[in-house]
A and B are shown apart, each in its own frame.
Chain A
């Protein structure tokens, strides 16, 4: 269904989200750009405070109104009908028609993201009644098919159970069934397996892969787990302090990370520190210090205070995101742009 020449399903262009607070403006997401191809998974990777969740909530327009978020930039989404819309400026009524329908989302906490007072069948049925106009009976039948799809045993019976009657893994399956109910073309998964045990995580990841292969949906996968990224993403966007510091296809990113932050993140993983057949290193690599406060960001590169390769210029100006190759970018002064690309520019 997808070909190499097909255009991206979502293009995020210079997205910025800021929040006014009593102590000043906090730029949670600054100038973030990336694209997601049809049928592919783009992973958004970063630690707490890197802006990855705010990026997803901004795209879904789910930030609470009381946060008074200031949003700029664009997010061009190609709908099922082939229309290109900007998710950030779309009228609320049209956005509501897309959300939970063509665009859907899975959250980290399956416990708190399901409504405790409705049966899971009612919750899944609600979205198809709303978006597909099915009647109650047909919607419940559809809900049962969705539970079968996510491999929940005894679906007909589970349909009438409440979230508290299910285990964490089962609840996350219900969340996925809910998100998949209207056959979305873009699924945003915000740390969908973080609250789960590894054997359950493996089940959920295999399920998401299978559904993607069957439906051709695109996935924006938000996570801090680089092991999951390595095996389940096609493209990776690494964020640090609200900005993209590196983006690349998954294999080259792990084989040859260009940004010192990405290099540090991979080097400090205990599972990466040890090469087969060699003794474990005496010390793990550690990125020194911690993320700067968003209220007092450093004047230059946000990573400069923690960077082992910082040079004189790094503390004065934020380096631009440099194209290294056609599909790779990094925000670092040490990175050399591809000579051929530079000539084209």
Chain B
């Protein structure tokens, strides 16, 4: 990693447990990563891996249980309500469901204007309307759409409005929480292009949460693979997809069918389901489904160790390090 540039976001030993008492749900259990300015970091994993919880905890939409989230070196979790509110204009989120995340009773202009008013940006009706028109055009809609209600738009258009709302306050960092999964394929590629364009034009830093490996491969610079609240593997995108090191990443890649009947898919059958985060397996959390698990896997929690430059994997089976060809 480049040591010269300070990361924009740094997550250190983050834990988020739900419920108190003896057996909380360990949704996120000791996760660390950093995001450089201008970088898009992908967070992948299956349901229950904790990826959405991380996205929300990073933005302090959920309070962490333990650990730190640093924005430009400052711990977000320690900020007062007042300072946090100010900071929120720098940190934004795009939600998964464009049907549930827009208030059905508000016109689009009011939805976007509310974000501006909260942060005291573009004051005065004329300036505000100009900014709203500009935002709508930025995401490929038209200025006159400001007077319409959410139900008048299709799913893809609603997701564009969600993007415009996140952009309204000129953020530096955006958490995109499965922003494409509610959209049809032909609309997905429109929104992917929009996100890629905006990222380039506005120099945005992104945490891109997704279960769709093809989209992550296309859009992200680096990828963090999660399983049951823990990081299994971190690497640059090309490296991860070409030389997956962790057995879970290998299985995940093999399970995702490529849209080409000529490509033979390698099958790595994973037994069973993801275990309950209330009582995660001892040692390596993946061992109950891992085809390569040995006795020692139950005893130690494998640390994240370097495989090659910038490529880290949490697996004690070093003898398996002959990565499968993609």
Contact = CB atoms under 8 A, between A and B. Distances in A.
Interface stretch (A135-143, A176-184, A224-232, A321-329): A224-232
Given A269-B214, A270-B192, A280-B218, A224 B46 contact: no
Residues of A contacting B: mostly: helix
A226 B155 CA distance: 20
B285 to A, nearest CB: 14
What bracket does the count of chain B residues touching chain A fall in? 35 or more
Contacts of A153: 272
Contacts of B187: 290
A271 B214 CA distance: 5
Contacts of B295: none
Nearest to A198: B255
B196 A283 contact: yes
A5 B49 CA distance: 49
Given A198-B46, A270-B215, A270-B217, A203 B257 contact: no
A254 B190 contact: no
B5 interface: no
Given A269-B185, A270-B192, A271-B259, A202 B214 contact: no
B189 A285 contact: yes
B160 to A, nearest CB: 11
Contacts of A33: none
Interface string B190-211: 1011001000000000000001
Interface stretch (A62-70, A86-94, A260-268): A260-268
Interface residues of A, number: 47
A198 B256 contact: yes
A202 B46 contact: no
B184 A270 contact: no
A202 B193 contact: no
B193 A284 contact: yes
A231 B218 contact: no
A199 interface: yes
Contact of B252 (A170, A199, A285, A290): A199
A225 B258 CA distance: 10
A290 B46 CA distance: 30
Interface stretch (B35-43, B81-89, B261-269): B261-269
A292 B214 CA distance: 28
A271 B253 CA distance: 12
A274 B46 contact: no
Contacts of B280: none
Contact of A254 (B188, B193, B259): B259
A203 B258 contact: no
A47 B183 CA distance: 9
Nearest to A202: B255
Contacts of A280: 218
B8 interface: no
Interface of B: 46-47, 154-157, 184-190, 192-193, 196, 211, 213-215, 217-219, 251-252, 254-263, 265, 267, 269-270, 272-274, 289, 326
Given A199-B252, A199-B270, A286-B190, 13 more contacts: A47-B186, A198-B46, A198-B252, A199-B289, A202-B257, A202-B269, A224-B185, A226-B185, A231-B265, A251-B262, A254-B261, A254-B262, A271-B217
Please list the 9 inter-chain residue pairs (A to B) with the smallest Cβ-Cβ separation, ordered nearest first.
A271-B214, A227-B257, A268-B189, A270-B218, A197-B46, A47-B184, A202-B255, A287-B186, A226-B259
21 contacts: A47-B185, A168-B47, A198-B211, A199-B251, A199-B270, A224-B185, A225-B257, A231-B257, A251-B261, A254-B261, A255-B262, A265-B185, A265-B186, A270-B214, A271-B213, A271-B214, A272-B259, A274-B217, A284-B218, A287-B186, A290-B154
